[in-house]
A and B are shown apart, each in its own frame.
Chain A
Amino acid sequence: MTATRFQLDPFTAEVIKEGLKAVGEEMFIAMARTSMSPIIYEVLDYATGLTDADANLLTQGNGVAGFIGVLTYSVTSVLDKFGREGLAPGDIVMTNDPYSGGGTHLSDVCLVMPIFHRGELVAFAANKAHWTEVGGMAPGSWTTDSTEVFQEGLQFPCIKAFVNDEPLPQLVDLIRANVRTPDMSIGDFYAQAASLRLAGKRIGEMCDKYGSEAIKEAMAWLLEDGEKRARAALAKLPKGTFIAEDVIDDDGISDEPIPVKVSVTITDDEFIVDFSEMPPQVAGPINSSRTGTNSGLRCVWTAIANPQAPVNEGIFAPLRLVVPDGTIITAQRPAPTSTYWETLLYSLDLVWKALAPVVPERLSAGHYNTVGASITTTHHVDSDIFKILVEPNMGGWGACSDRDGESGLFCSMNGETFNLPVEVTEQAYGLRVDEYAFNPEPGGEGRFRGGRGVVRSYEILSDRGGAVTITLGRHKNPCWGVDGGHKGGRNYTQVVKADGHAGEPTGKTARLPLAKGDVLRIVCGAGGGWGDPAERPREKVLADLRAGLISPRAAKEVYGVET
Chain B
Amino acid sequence: MTGPLLAEFRDPETLSRALAQVKQARYCVLDAFTPHPVEGLAEELAVGTSAIRPVMLAGGLTVAAFAFALQWYSAVINYPINSGGRPLNSWQVFWLVPFEVGVFAAALCGVIALFWSCGLPRLHHPLFEVPGFERATQDRFFLLAAPEADDEAALDLRHLLEAAGAVVVTEVHQP
| B partners with A | no
Q: Interface residues, chain A, CB within 8 Å of chain B?
A: none
